[in-house]
With several copies, the nearest count.
Chain A
């Protein structure tokens, strides 16, 4: 299930993300549904209060390749998918700011919801990305980790 180059927009970037730009980009005339997921820096994790920022690290080339695998798998499962955009920030991201955005379009909403949720689940499981939690006066790698897997196993 290959995808035309213009149908996907994948990026690993140090720049601020724009959920709105991605949501608008995925709109197509035959699509009645756009679902957008935005992952946001929150003030706590399962092991820590008072988080003020996260810092993400990856190998961008490998991460982009794995993101493409995620999108290919989503297209195999939901052939009605139209456009898919996934952007992930690296570097430091402040509280309440987006770290990752997934936007997808489809003619009907069921496929759009299912594919968007699959993309973020598969991203978290299969894309090499590590986050450090920052608080006043310290930082540590996140404890919320999983062994790296494959998109198709999600």
Chain B
């Protein structure tokens, strides 16, 4: 099981701050998440970055248990 962390606008779009997914690759989890949360989340995901364990990662990256996936929408700090 990988943990998905949904930050800022992504947590609004998903209706939760974290979730758990089975999936062989990062891409599997993201596709499953769009099915689970709906089209608005899918739209936001297209402009967001997805990091694995604190670093950018390719969609094909294979997941291990306890992996932490973060969805990072465009930022607006300061």
CA distance A69 to B22 in the complex (A): 32
Total A-B Cβ pairs within 8 A: 71
Please give me the residue from chain B that is nearest to A143 by CB atom: B76
CA–CA, A95 and B11, complex, Å: 25
State whether B74 touches A147 (Cβ < 8 A): yes
Nearest residue, chain A, Cβ from B11: A57
What's the minimum C-beta distance from B77 to chain A, rounded to whole angstroms? 3
Question: Which residues on B sit within 8 Å (CB–CB) of A146?
Answer: 74-76
Interface size grouping (class) on chain B: 10 to 19
A154 to B13, CA, bound (A): 29
Q: Secondary structure of the A side of the interface? A: mixed
- Please name all residues of chain B whose beta carbon is closer than 8 Å to the beta carbon of A88 when the two chains form the complex: 77-78
Q: Is the CB of A129 within 8 A of B5?
A: no
Q: Does A35 sit at the interface, judged by CB under 8 A? A: no
A130 touches B8 (CB 8 A): yes
Tell whether, in the assembled complex, residue A59 and residue B7 are in contact, meaning their CB atoms are under 8 Å apart: yes
Q: 5 pairs across A/B with beta carbons < 8 Å? A: A100-B77, A129-B77, A145-B73, A145-B75, A145-B76
